Amino acid sequence: MTKISSEERTELIRLVDFLMSAQGTEKEQDEALRSLESRVPHPRVSDLIFWPQHEGFDHDPTAQQVVDAALAYRPIEL
């Protein structure tokens, strides 16, 4: 899992909560997603939020579960 501070983890959870709530304008949602994508190693972090079943979840994950999965991602080394 990627090492981050507790403050950074809290901010990532806040971003995911915001995206999951579908609040704010389209521009605010886009900015939040871009910010999240730039801060986690998972290349499909939006799928964890909007299509979790495609990423292995059998339920709707919490924001904390999304952040944990996004930070735990490791690319396959060839």
pLDDT (average), residues 33-40: 98
Q: Which two tokens stand for residue 59?
A: 């339920």
**What's the pLDDT at 2?**
75
What does the pLDDT average to over 5-34?
97
**23: pLDDT strictly greater than 90:** yes
What's the CA gap between 18 and 12, in Å, rounded?
Answer: 10
Residue of 46, 29, 38, 42 whose CA lies nearest to 68 = 42
Looking at the whole model, is its pTM more than 0.85? yes
**Alpha-carbon distance 57 to 78, whole Å?**
26
